A and B are shown apart, each in its own frame.
Chain A
Amino acid sequence: MPAPLRRLASALAVLATAGALVWGLMLLSPVDPARQILLAQGDPAPAPAEVDATRHELGLDRSYPEQYARWLTAAVRGDFGTSWRTGDPVAAELAGRLPATIRLTLVALLFATAVALALALPGLERPGGPADVFARGLVFGGSALPVFAVGVVLLEFVVVGAGIGRVVADGTWSGALLPALPLALGIGAEWARVLRGGLRDALGAPHSETARARGAGRLRILALHGLPHAAAPFLTVAAMSAGGLLAGAAVVETLFTWPGIGRLLITSIDAGDLPVVQAIVLLGVVAFLAANLLAETLTAAIDPRRREKR
C-alpha cells in the first residue's frame, strides 16, 4: 500500500476506535435518553408507554453492537441525535455555532504564526547575544502563561476597563481579533520554541556554513537553508497543538461569550447534554487527526528521509 493511503487507513482505524469510545460515553451516563428527550421536547411528565415508544424509535431496545452500528452510520451522515437540553437535532445546533469557532480559530492561528515568527527569528545569528536571550525568555515565559489569565486581563482591563472592543462578542471576523489573542499567545510561543530549535540547528549545519562562506546573503540562507529544514518538526508540533484548540476555544469563548462550539460544549457539559458533548468531542478528534494527517503528508513532501519510514 502506498504511504499516503496507509496513513489515511491508520487515521480511519483510530477514528473508528475513538468513535466507539465516544459512543461508549452514553453507557457511563446515568440518564435515560428516551425520557430525557421527551422532557426536553416539552413533555413535563412522559408516560411510561410514551418513553417505551421513544426508546424503540431510538433503537435503545436493541443490542449494544447494533446500537453502536446505528449511531456510527448516523454520525457519518452528520446526524448526532437529539439534544437533551433543547430537544432539537444536535447537527442543527452545531451548524449554527461552527462558523464562529472557525473564524476565531483561523484568526488565532494567523496570530500564532506571526507570534512564532516574531519570537523565532531574532538573535539567531548570534546565539547567546542579547536578542537571542530576550527572545528565548519570551518563548519560555509565553508557554508557561495560562490562556485564561491572559483572557481575563484582556476582558476586564482592556474591554471593560478601557472600553476597547465589545463585551458580548458577535462572532464576526472583526470581533474575533481580541478573543483570538489569548488563544494565539500560548500556541505561538510553543511554535516559536520548535521553530527556533530547528532554525538554530539548520543555520549551524555545515551546508549553511558553506553557503555563508560562499557569500550568500542572510535572507537567502534563511529561506533556502534554514526554513525548509525547520519546517518538518514545526509542522509536527503545529498539528499537535490542534489537540488543545478545543479546550482553548472553550476557555476563550466562555470568557468572551463567543457564540461558538467551545461555549456550547461547556454549556452542554453543565446541562448534562451528552449527545451534543459526543458530537463536539468527535469533531475535536477529527480535527486533530486531520491536522496530523496533513502534517505527515506535508512533512513527507518536504523531507525525503521521512518517506521511507513507516
Chain B
Amino acid sequence: MRNRSLHVGAWLLVALAVIAVAAPLLLPDPDRVDYTAKLAPPGATHLLGTDRLGRDLAARLAAGARTTLGSVGAVWLVSVAIGLLAGTLSALAGRLAHETVARVVDVALALPQTVVALAVAGAIGPGMWQLVFAMSATAWAPTARLAHTYVHAARERPDVLAARMAGIGTVRAMAAHVLPGASARVVVVATLGVGQLILSLAALSFLGLGAQPPTAEWGRMLADSRHDVIAAPWLIIAPTTAVFLAVTAVSLLADGAREHIDPGSRSWPRF
C-alpha cells in the first residue's frame, strides 16, 4: 500500500499518544512550581526549559497532549456515535423521523462551531468540558448527514436487494452490507474535522475559555507565558510546535484514510 500520508499521520499520532501517556513516568510533575529554576533554558535537568513559575515545560507539554487528545477524542467519539446512529436510523425509519432529523441537521450545520462554543461559555462559564459539550453539539451533524445519504442510497443497492430477496431481514442486511461502509466514511469525515477542532480548542483556551489553571493546555500555556517569549523563546516554540504537529498528524491521517477508501475523491465535506 503506497499511502504515505496515512502512514506518516498514523505514526505521528501514535508517537504523540505514547508521549502523552508515558510522560508521567519519565518527566517531573507538570504542576510542580520551582522558583529557583524559573525561565530556565532547555538543558539536562529540564529537557525543554521551564516557565516563569519554574514548571517543567516538557512535562506540561505532555500533560497538554493528554488534555487535547482527551477532549478532542470525546468530541470525535460523539460525532461518530451520534452521527452514525442518527443518520442510519433516520434513513431506515419513516418519513417523519427522516424529516425531523434532516431539519435538526440543517440547523446544526448552519451554526458555526466556535460561535456555539463562545455562546455556551458565555452562558454557563468557561471550562474544557463546557467546550467539549458545545463542540459536540454541532460536530455530529456532518457525520449524520453523510451516514443518512449513504444508508439511504444503499437500500436500493444490488447486493442489499439480493440479500433481502434471499430472505435476510432488514437489520441483518444493513449490519452486514451497509454498516461497514457507512462507519468507515463516518470515521473519516469525523477525523477530517479534528485538525480544525484542535486549533479551535487551543484558540479558545488561549482566550481563557477552555482549560482552567493549573491544568496544562497548549493554548493556555502560550497565553500565560506570552510576555516572556522574548526572554524565553522556548515558551512559544514548544506549544506552537505541539499544536502544529498534532494538527498535521490528524490532517495527514484523515486525508490518507479518505484517499484509501475513496481514491481520487476530493469532494468530501470538510468542516
The reply to whether B106 and A10 contact each other, CB–CB distance below 8 Å, is: yes
The reply to whether B230 and A156 contact each other, CB–CB distance below 8 Å, is: yes
Closest B residue to A275 by CB, please name it. Answer: B122
Q: Does A146 contact B (CB under 8 A)?
A: yes
The reply to whether A265 and B118 contact each other, CB–CB distance below 8 Å, is: yes
Interface residues of A in 1-32 (CB under 8 A from B): 10-11, 14, 17-18, 21-22, 25-26, 28-29
The reply to whether B112 and A156 contact each other, CB–CB distance below 8 Å, is: no
Could you mark each residue 273-309 of chain A with 1 if its beta carbon is under 8 Å from any beta carbon of chain B, else 0? 0100110110011001100100000000000000000
The reply to whether B114 and A146 contact each other, CB–CB distance below 8 Å, is: no
B32 neighbours in A (Cβ, 8 Å): none
The reply to whether A246 and B114 contact each other, CB–CB distance below 8 Å, is: yes
Kindly state the separation between the CA atoms of A256 and B196 in the bound complex, as whole angstroms.
23
B196 neighbours in A (Cβ, 8 Å): 244
Kindly state the separation between the CA atoms of A53 and B121 in the bound complex, as whole angstroms.
30
Closest B residue to A24 by CB, please name it. Answer: B123
Chief secondary structure at chain A's binding surface:
helix
Q: Known A140-B248, A270-B208; judge A22-B119 contact (CB<8 A).
A: yes
Which one of B115, B125, B126, B206 lies within 8 Å of A285 (CB-CB)? B115
Q: Does B83 contact A (CB under 8 A)?
A: no
The reply to whether A144 and B203 contact each other, CB–CB distance below 8 Å, is: no
Could you mark each residue 169-210 of chain B with 1 if its beta carbon is under 8 Å from any beta carbon of chain A, else 0? 000000000000000000000000001100110111011110
A278 neighbours in B (Cβ, 8 Å): 119, 122
B4 neighbours in A (Cβ, 8 Å): none
The reply to whether B222 and A284 contact each other, CB–CB distance below 8 Å, is: no
B222 neighbours in A (Cβ, 8 Å): 148-149, 152
Q: Does A83 contact B (CB under 8 A)?
A: no
Closest A residue to B266 by CB, please name it. Answer: A197
A164 neighbours in B (Cβ, 8 Å): none
Chief secondary structure at chain B's binding surface:
helix
Closest B residue to A245 by CB, please name it. Answer: B112
Which one of B114, B124, B209, B219 lies within 8 Å of A28 (CB-CB)? B124
A265 neighbours in B (Cβ, 8 Å): 118, 122
B125 neighbours in A (Cβ, 8 Å): 272
Which one of A149, A247, A281 lies within 8 Å of B200 (CB-CB)? A247
Kindly state the separation between the CA atoms of A292 and B243 in the bound complex, as whole angstroms.
29
B122 neighbours in A (Cβ, 8 Å): 25, 265, 268-269, 272, 274, 277-278, 281
Q: Does A64 contact B (CB under 8 A)?
A: no
A250 neighbours in B (Cβ, 8 Å): 118, 207
Q: Does B111 contact A (CB under 8 A)?
A: yes
Kindly state the separation between the CA atoms of A133 and B247 in the bound complex, as whole angstroms.
20
Q: Known A148-B202, A149-B240; judge A247-B114 contact (CB<8 A).
A: yes
Kindly state the separation between the CA atoms of A265 and B204 in the bound complex, as whole angstroms.
12
Interface size on A, residues (CB 8 A): 57
B208 neighbours in A (Cβ, 8 Å): 266, 270
B113 neighbours in A (Cβ, 8 Å): 243
The reply to whether B219 and A281 contact each other, CB–CB distance below 8 Å, is: no
Q: How far is the CB of A271 from chain B (nearest CB, A)?
A: 10
Q: Does A153 contact B (CB under 8 A)?
A: yes
Interface centre among B118, B195, B209 (most CB of A within 10 A): B118
The reply to whether A251 and B203 contact each other, CB–CB distance below 8 Å, is: yes
Q: Does B223 contact A (CB under 8 A)?
A: yes
The reply to whether A281 and B251 contact each other, CB–CB distance below 8 Å, is: no
Q: Does A254 contact B (CB under 8 A)?
A: yes
Which one of A155, A277, A284, A292 lies within 8 Å of B123 (CB-CB)? A277
The 10 closest A-B pairs by CB, nearest first: A243-B112, A277-B122, A247-B114, A144-B247, A25-B123, A149-B240, A284-B115, A14-B110, A148-B206, A281-B119
By a beta-carbon cutoff of 8 Å, the part of chain B in contact with chain A is: 106-107, 110-115, 117-126, 195-196, 199-200, 202-204, 206-209, 219, 222-223, 226-227, 229-230, 236, 239-240, 243-244, 247-248, 251, 266, 270-271
**11 further A-B pairs in the complex, CB-CB below 8 A; given A144-B195, A265-B122, A285-B110:** A22-B119, A25-B123, A28-B124, A146-B203, A148-B219, A149-B243, A247-B204, A272-B122, A278-B119, A288-B115, A292-B110
21 example contacts (A-B, Cβ-Cβ < 8 A) are as follows A14-B107, A17-B107, A18-B111, A22-B119, A26-B123, A140-B251, A144-B199, A145-B240, A145-B244, A148-B219, A149-B239, A152-B236, A153-B236, A244-B200, A266-B208, A269-B118, A269-B122, A281-B122, A284-B112, A285-B111, A289-B110
